[in-house]
Structure 1
Amino acid sequence: MEKIIVKNSEIEFEELEAKVKRKILSRGGTMMAVEVHFKKGGVGKKHSHDQHEQICYILKGEFEVEVGGETSTLKAGDSFYAGKNIEHGVKALTDAVILDVFTPQREDFLA
C-alpha cells in the first residue's frame, strides 16, 4: 500500500555508487518523488527513459547537466525536464541534492 504521509527521517538511503545515494520520498498513482544526494564529483550517468518523464529540481549545490545534447551549470533552485527518450546526465560540482519526480513510477527502483 502506498503511504499518503511520509517522514523523511524514517526513510533509509540506498547507496548507488561511492558518491551517490537516494531515497524514495513518496509515490502514488503514476508519480514518484526521489531525493538523490551527491558528493562532489558524483555522477548520474547519461541515460534516457523509454517509458518515463522526469523533472529534476536542484535542492542544494551545483551540477553540470546535459539534457538533449545541451550542457549547462545548474544550482539550487534550478531545474530541468527530460521527456521520454531524451538523454540526460549530471555531475556534482559540489556536495549537492536533487529532487527527481517521475511519471509513471520507476518500478525498477522498487525491486
Structure 2
Amino acid sequence: MNFKDLTNKTLITDKDIDWDDLGAGVKRKVMPFDDNLMLVKVAFEKDAIGTIHNHPHLQLSYVAKGSFEVTMGDDKKILNEGDVFFAPTMIFHGVVCLEAGILVDIFNPHREDFL
C-alpha cells in the first residue's frame, strides 16, 4: 500500500501496511491521514532512541506497549503502557526506549516529511 492509498482512507487493517525500518532499532508505520490529521505507529527495540527534535505540528503520543523515558523541554519522565505525552508546537522532545515498545503518534497537521 502506498501513501496515496492511505489518504482519506476510512477503514484500514494493520496487516495491509508495511513497517518502514528507520534503523537503530526504530521502525515506523504511517496509518491513515488527511491534510489535518495523521496517525503513525513507531516501534522501538530496547535502548533505541527517538532523537530530541521539534516540529511545527501538534503531537499526541500514546504508549501502546513498553516503557520510555520521555524528554519534553526541560522535563523528563518515565512513561509506561497506557500513558500519554503531548508535544506542543516547536517544543523539543524525544524518547529513550527502556523496554521494547510501540508509540502511537497523532499529528496535526499531517507530517509531509514522513511521506
- TM tier relative to shorter chain: over 0.9
Instruction: Give me the TM-score of the superposition, normalised by structure 1.
Output: 0.94
Deviation at 1:18, TM superposition (A): 2.4
Distance 2:74 2:114 in 1: 26
The equivalent residue for 1:59 is: 64
Q: CA RMSD in A?
A: 0.9
Residue of 91, 97, 100 corresponding to 1:95: 100
Uncovered stretches (5+) of structure 1, i.e. residues with no partner: none
Q: State the aligned residue count.
A: 109
Q: List alignment gaps of at least 5 residues for structure 2.
A: none
Listed one character per residue, the Cα deviations across residues 8-50 of structure 1 (whole Å, up to 9, x for unaligned) are 000001111220001011112400000000000010000001x
Match of 2:43 in 1: 37
- Identity score, percent: 39
1:54-75 CA-to-partner distances (Å, cap 9, x unmatched) read 0011000100000011000000
